[in-house]
Structure 1
């Protein structure tokens, strides 16, 4: 399925979390509803930046400068 992540998730036998459908008055219990979900389209925006070098001021990051070539990359969201 193309888009941002997936519109559904498969529960495996060894999953730590499980769930079951329960009608609470919101939405639907239709078992095929997840297959009809439409993924959001990707939006491209042109950006004019001054530098690809970014400063880090975090105590848990051991470097003070970094490069982010994937700025806004869909797979990292």
Structure 2
């Protein structure tokens, strides 16, 4: 059950770390790559992006999903 009004969690000052990144590629078959904090490719996301490309999704869709996944990746790292 979600409790509200408690002083346990102060989310006003919560900031996600600026780790990792979504990098645009020059390869049309791989328009964006998600990198972790060490600069390594995040393999599960790489496979997901490949699936999007196989379904003929435009690069803008891959970027949109990539930005969401980057925020989630940063949240998990915090």
Find the structure with the greater CA-based Rg.
Answer: 1
TM-score (norm 2): 0.31
